[in-house]
């Protein structure tokens, strides 16, 4: 019988391995929310389990995403105990309803889970390495405040100014993960030339955005940026959509705390892929896109030239 390497290493080290079967993404996310809100309420695992009328082992498994039979009423009861706000509570119940998704999960915005309940951002916050391809937009983690504001105003044109400002603060908070000095997340991104030429906001906004793309890799060695020029055509003969691959931090044994996953976003929802073949496919495509991209020097020259063109248009 063939034993997976991870389990084989665990057997050698005398550790008990919990099977990965059933630990779907919605379950893990729900478990993370349950644990975080219990801690916010200053309750110990034992105290919460007693009030919820379950064993502490059962609650611990739920917080680890290992309870495949978690019921909506249990989540409701836990949320009430922890004082979880209504909007987040609805999202957590939605995650419970999505428990049996397998390794691929299609999350339709505003369906079982409210549209404003952002599953992706909570995953991104735990990533140790992010690789991405963005053919038409500057990636959110690299956007300037002006660029982000121009997009937000078009997405939610009727929202109050405070709403725009609030969303900008969220974006700035997300960017801290790659800008912080202590264990910053590695970002390895390929941007299509179209993203540099599509006008977002004013020419001045675009100029500042492109200048930022030049500065960030120079100031932060964990940020790697490549530009795929129009002349490169379609590497591999396929027009790839925007995608993100999230890789998570290892545990004390060097194994990932969570399996890597691929995120594909479209207008009405997002697809999360955890199957290893899918992760490998998009990782290979990212490598091919990088190989077809401009060198760091040539990318900097293109960014500088385009930034100057935008600045000249503003005069």
Contact assessment for residue 140 and residue 174, using Cβ atoms and an 8 Å cutoff = yes
Quick one: average pLDDT of 215-224?
95
- Does residue 107 fall inside a structural domain? no
Instruction: Please check whether residues 140 and 91 belong to one and the same domain.
Output: no
The predicted pLDDT at position 168 comes to: 66
Rg (CA), the chain: 22
Instruction: Please check whether residues 135 and 234 belong to one and the same domain.
Output: yes
Mean residue pLDDT across the chain: 83
Instruction: Please check whether residues 94 and 127 belong to one and the same domain.
Output: no
- CA 192 from chain center: how many Å? 20
The predicted pLDDT at position 23 comes to: 54
Contact assessment for residue 80 and residue 94, using Cβ atoms and an 8 Å cutoff = no
Domain boundary among 101, 130, 154: 101
9-13, 83-87, 306-310: the lowest-pLDDT one = 9-13
Residue pLDDT, tens place only, 128-161:
999 999 999 999 999 999 999 898 888 767 767 6
**pLDDT > 70 in the chain, percent:** 82
- Does residue 165 fall inside a structural domain? yes
Instruction: Show the beta-strand stretches assigned E in 249-300.
Output: 261-266, 269-273
The predicted pLDDT at position 132 comes to: 96
The predicted pLDDT at position 86 comes to: 87
Quick one: average pLDDT of 223-252?
92
Phi-psi region of 29 (alpha: psi -120 to 50; beta: other; left: phi over 0): alpha
The predicted pLDDT at position 73 comes to: 87
- Does residue 113 fall inside a structural domain? no
CATH of the domain at 25: 1.10.260.40
Domain tally for the chain?
2
Residue pLDDT, tens place only, 284-304:
999 999 999 999 999 999 999
- Does residue 305 fall inside a structural domain? yes
Instruction: Please check whether residues 189 and 140 belong to one and the same domain.
Output: yes
- Does residue 108 fall inside a structural domain? no
- Residue 9 above 70 pLDDT? no
Instruction: Please check whether residues 138 and 202 belong to one and the same domain.
Output: yes
Instruction: Please check whether residues 242 and 127 belong to one and the same domain.
Output: yes
Round to whole Å and give the CA distance between 79 and 93. 9
Whole-model pTM over 0.85: no
| Span between the terminal Cα atoms of the chain, in Å | 72
Domain boundary among 55, 72, 101: 101
Round to whole Å and give the CA distance between 248 and 23. 15
Instruction: Please check whether residues 170 and 30 belong to one and the same domain.
Output: no
Quick one: average pLDDT of 207-228?
96
Which range of residues forms the domain containing residue 177?
Answer: 118-315
CATH of the domain at 122: 3.30.870
- Does residue 16 fall inside a structural domain? no
Round to whole Å and give the CA distance between 59 and 257. 19
The predicted pLDDT at position 125 comes to: 84
């Amino acid at each position: 019988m063939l034993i997976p390497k991870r389990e084989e290493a665990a057997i050698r080290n005398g550790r008990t391995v919990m099977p990965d079967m059933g630990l779907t993404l919605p379950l893990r996310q729900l478990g993370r929310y349950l644990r975080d809100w219990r801690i916010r309420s200053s309750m110990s695992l034992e105290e919460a389990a007693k009030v919820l009328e379950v064993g502490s082992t059962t609650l611990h498994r739920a917080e680890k995403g290992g309870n495949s039979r978690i019921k909506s009423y249990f989540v409701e009861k836990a949320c009430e105990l922890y004082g979880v706000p209504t909007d987040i509570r609805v999202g957590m119940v939605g995650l419970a309803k999505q428990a049996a998704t397998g390794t691929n999960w299609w999350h339709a915005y505003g369906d079982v889970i409210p549209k404003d309940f952002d599953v992706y951002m909570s995953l991104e916050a735990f990533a140790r390495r992010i690789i991405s391809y963005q053919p038409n937009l500057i990636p959110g983690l690299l956007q300037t405040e002006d660029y982000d504001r121009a997009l937000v105003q078009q997405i939610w044109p009727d929202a109050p100014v405070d709403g725009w400002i609030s969303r900008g603060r969220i974006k700035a908070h997300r960017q801290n993960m790659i800008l912080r000095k202590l264990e910053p997340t590695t970002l390895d991104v390929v941007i299509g030339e179209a993203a540099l030429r599509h006008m977002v906001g004013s020419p001045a906004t675009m100029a500042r955005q492109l200048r930022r793309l030049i500065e960030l890799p120079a100031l932060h060695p964990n940020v790697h940026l490549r530009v795929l020029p129009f002349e490169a055509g379609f590497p591999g003969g396929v027009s790839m959509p925007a995608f993100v691959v999230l890789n998570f931090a290892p545990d004390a044994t060097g194994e990932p705390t969570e399996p890597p996953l691929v995120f594909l976003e479209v207008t009405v929802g997002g697809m999360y892929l955890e199957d290893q073949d899918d992760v490998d496919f998009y990782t290979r495509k990212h490598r091919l896109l990088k190989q077809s991209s401009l060198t760091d020097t040539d990318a900097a020259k293109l960014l500088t030239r385009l930034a100057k063109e935008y600045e000249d248009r503003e005069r």
